[in-house]
Amino acid sequence: MSASPIHDIFVIGGGINGCGVARDAVGRGFSVFLAEMNDLASGTSSGSTKLIHGGLRYLEFYEFRLVREALMEREILWKNAPHIIWPMRFVLPYAKGLRPAWLIRLGLFLYDHIGGRKLLPATRTLDMANDPAGKPLKPLFRKAFEYSDGWVNDARLVALNARDAADRGATIRTRTKVVDARREGEFWTVRLQNTQTGDTEEVKARLLVNAAGPWVDHVLSATVGLNDVHNVRLVQGSHIVISKKFDDPRAYFFQNKDGRIIFAIPYEEEFTLIGTTDQDFSGDPRDVKISDAEIDYLCAAASEYFAQPVKRSDIVWTYSAVRPLYDDGASKAQEATRDYVLKTDGGEGTAPIVNTFGGKITTYRRLSESMLEKIEGFLGKRGKPWTANAPLPGGDFPASGFDAEVAKLKTAYPFLDARLARRLTRLYGTRARMLLGLARSNADLGRNFGADLYEAEVRYLVQNEWAMTAEDVLWRRTKRGLQLSREQAAALDEFMRGISRRHVAAAE
């Protein structure tokens, strides 16, 4: 066991909320230590529907505060990370017998007007007989509404917040579990365990942030030692990925007969993403898995709309995650609030803790600002809110300049195939140049593990983004897992064990 200096803030959890808070705090001058027990974004933050959205549906539950804040975030986040976030238009077919057209129009009117929309285009009505969006759908859907929201690569948003926090001086540890946190007067003593080696270590901090997502109550009771805590309702949500069902760049918003909705979204160039579900969950969130009933539900719901039904055999991948919703006592999982709640304990001689419950990817930056207000209430003010105008790593180019950025990369590296240049810009933005370095040909990028995943990219992810296993690279830092065969993935795994071993040896 080794001693370490006293940090201002210790953050438990490397999901979007933990990494967002760490980044904001270190940027204001606090010293920050963050521990994530698995990989960054390995919890809920890689399993979302990946929308930067106000949440049209939440208007039905009168969540005006949340919807307004989330709508305002759309353009702020896009501006700061135009590589991994972009605008998307959504087509909402009018379906007879479900929500009346006047209600949808009213919702979309509010959506267009309460959220400070400047760049995103407004809602319009579509005649589906003449619009290409009508083509893949059954002909009975004759009218639709088209509105704006945004798309985000959720797992990369987490990694980039962690990267920026580390660039500004935060310590970020992955595969490091907080096994115990005890108050000793004005300080916390936090015991950590490396989940790969079993080694333990103690860190001291003035304030603890509990951003453990679906584990937040578990951390409070088992790790911090508070009894009988119940703050979150765990709600499972699953998605299916099928081969591309339509060519249009727009996504669909389908209403279901049970009052719920699902999305069908263009995904990773060659696929369509369909989701999600809402069902209460119990157990360890790490074990969450799509059920047969969820698969049937998603296939049936999408088949109500698409002219060609969606079948089980179309599915190429599924993923599931658990929402840590603040338990407001709603009767149905889909009605539980999506807003976030921060709760504090301690202060005045007792080391403080701030817990975060609920929230959306979309509102993580605002949640972090609210968290910093609480933190500054305990530790004193250090700096002003700053993240609204600060690009994330690789996002330092104009919001509407993505294609120009791809062209610049092609000019600098003429040997790059157009698809690869686009993919690298989408993932790394201006930092694609760091990854490519002095390369003058594909051969300079090293081994190709399949689907143009080169050694240079893998090494970049190990050195800069805490990637340690093939799964980190294939399913969180990239989605190359959709393209690589089992054998190719195994070869990458073998290669990565080699580099991880060398990294550990070098550090010792």
User: Can residue 14 be called a binding residue for ligand FAD (CB under 6 A)?
Assistant: yes
234 binds ligand FAD (CB under 6 A): no
Contact status: 42 vs ligand FAD (CB under 6 A): yes
User: Strands 171-173 and 32-35, how do they pair?
Assistant: parallel
Q: Is 44 in the site for ligand FAD (CB under 6 A)?
A: yes
- Nearest by Cα to 297 from 286, 282, 312, 287: 312
Out of 87, 134, 150, 214, name the contact with ligand FAD by CB under 6 A. 214
d(CA 155, CA 505): 28
Q: Read off the amino acid at residue 338.
A: R
Least distance in angstroms from the C-beta of 467 to ligand FAD: 15
Site string (166-195) toward ligand FAD, x via CB under 6 A: -----------xx-----------------
Q: Write down the least CB distance from residue 33 to ligand FAD, Å.
A: 11
The single residue among 27, 47, 87, 93 that binds ligand FAD, judged by CB under 6 A, is 47
Stretch binding ligand FAD (CB under 6 A), from 182-190, 208-216, 396-404, 479-487: 208-216
What CA–CA distance (Å, rounded) separates 260 from 57?
Answer: 9
DSSP track, 198-221: --EEEEEEEEEEE--GGGHHHIII
Q: How far is the CB of 179 from ligand FAD (least distance, A)?
A: 7
Q: Contact letters (x/-) for ligand FAD, 286-325, by CB under 6 A?
A: -----------------------------------xxxx-
Nearest 5°: phi and psi at 350? -110, 130
Long-range contacts of 434-440, Cβ-Cβ distance < 8 Å, separation of 24 or more: 434/460, 434/464, 435/460, 436/409, 436/412, 439/413, 439/415, 440/415
DSSP per-residue codes, 281-349? --S-GGG----HHHHHHHHHHHHTTBSSPP-GGGEEEEEEEEEEEE----SSGGGS--SEEEEEEEETT
Residues paired with 243 in a beta bridge: 271
- Phi, psi of 403, rounded to the nearest 5 degrees: -65, -35
Question: Residue of minimal CB distance from ligand FAD?
Answer: 15
Of 14-22, 129-137, 243-251, 266-274, the segment contacting ligand FAD by CB under 6 A is: 14-22
Give me the least distance between CB of 492 and ligand FAD, in Å please: 22
In this chain, which of 7, 10, 11, 12 binds ligand FAD, going by CB under 6 A?
12
CA angle, 505 as apex, 504 and 508 as ends, to 5°? 85
Count of residues of this chain found to bind ligand FAD when the rule CB under 6 A is applied: 40
Residue ranges binding ligand FAD (CB under 6 A): 12-18, 35-38, 42-45, 47-51, 53, 177-178, 211-215, 219, 223, 237, 276, 321-324, 359-362
